[in-house]
């Protein structure tokens, strides 16, 4: 069985674990995902099956869209709410007006320092493993591109937004940097990937649904379907 499965990853499991579940349900020996989602995150995970795994780099290079909730006034070791709190401050009432001005600085090409807790490797070892050993390494900055950054709603310290970005963009780092630009700090509270290129989470299946369906193979995109959806002109902008 060769092709793609569009999976709506649930919260609380790693992308690796999600892929292992897909392999078991479909009975395939080889599978890989096209872009990690942290355990905190939900949403679209493209799972490539058997010979389709050679297309992983192609899918990873596509732009991605996320919906997120940012918590202002808190900084953590992981840049999300699951990390150890290193700073917490009060957030003032004028943050909404200031926020809409600040986010404009983060649209277009920006320099971003990835989180110290990430899968980026230093000397062959993932940074998150070094951080857990008390040897946190600040990775070098990288250039990423933010196509769109919309603030949908503000509720107290919580900012609800949507972002379309290039590969390699960390939304945890984006929340951290926006919070610092506001002078109060910030971290990621919730994250959902809604699209990768032209692939949408609305077309994905959840793990529980995949487990229960009588014909899980029917959800695998293969052959002409996969080739058609690789057309870059149909990708997100």
So which residues are the catalytic ones? 38
Q: How many helices (H) and strands (E) does the chain have?
A: 7, 15
Residue with tokens 């780092």: 173
Other CB atoms within a 10 A radius of the CB of residue 63 amount to 19
Q: Can you list the alpha helix ranges (DSSP code H) found in the chain?
A: 15-26, 56-60, 95-102, 127-132, 171-182, 207-212, 224-229
What distances in angstroms separate CA 236 from CA 8, 109, 128, 185, one per listed residue? 19, 16, 30, 30
Gap between the terminal Cα atoms of the chain: 31
> What dihedral angle (degrees, nearest 10) is formed by the CA atoms of 6, 172, 159, 145?
-80
**73: nearest Cα among 7, 192, 154, 153:** 154
Round to whole Å and give the CA distance between 165 and 107. Answer: 9
Q: Which helix (H) or strand (E) holds 48?
A: strand 42-49
């Amino acid at each position: 069985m060769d092709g793609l499965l569009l999976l709506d990853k649930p919260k609380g499991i790693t992308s690796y674990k999600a892929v292992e579940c897909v392999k078991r349900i479909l009975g395939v020996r080889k599978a890989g995902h096209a872009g990690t989602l942290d355990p905190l995150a939900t949403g679209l995970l493209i799972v490539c099956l058997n010979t389709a795994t050679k297309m992983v780099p192609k899918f990873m290079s596509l732009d991605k869209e996320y919906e997120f909730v940012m918590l202002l006034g808190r900084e953590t070791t992981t840049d999300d709410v699951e990390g150890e709190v290193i700073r917490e401050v009060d957030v003032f009432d004028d943050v909404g007006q200031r926020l809409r001005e600040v986010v404009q600085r983060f649209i277009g090409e920006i320099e971003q320092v990835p989180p110290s807790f990430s899968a980026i490797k230093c000397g062959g070892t993932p940074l998150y493993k070094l951080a857990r050993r008390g040897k946190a390494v600040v990775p070098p900055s990288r250039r990423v591109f933010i196509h769109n950054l919309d603030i949908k709603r503000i509720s107290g310290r919580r900012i609800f937004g949507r972002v379309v970005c290039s590969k390699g963009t960390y939304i945890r780092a984006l929340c951290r940097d926006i919070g610092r630009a506001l002078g109060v700090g910030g971290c990621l509270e919730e994250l959902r990937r809604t699209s990768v290129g032209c692939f949408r989470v609305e077309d994905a299946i959840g793990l529980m649904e995949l487990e229960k369906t009588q014909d899980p193979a029917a959800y695998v995109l293969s052959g002409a379907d996969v080739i058609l959806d690789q057309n870059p002109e149909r990708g997100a902008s």
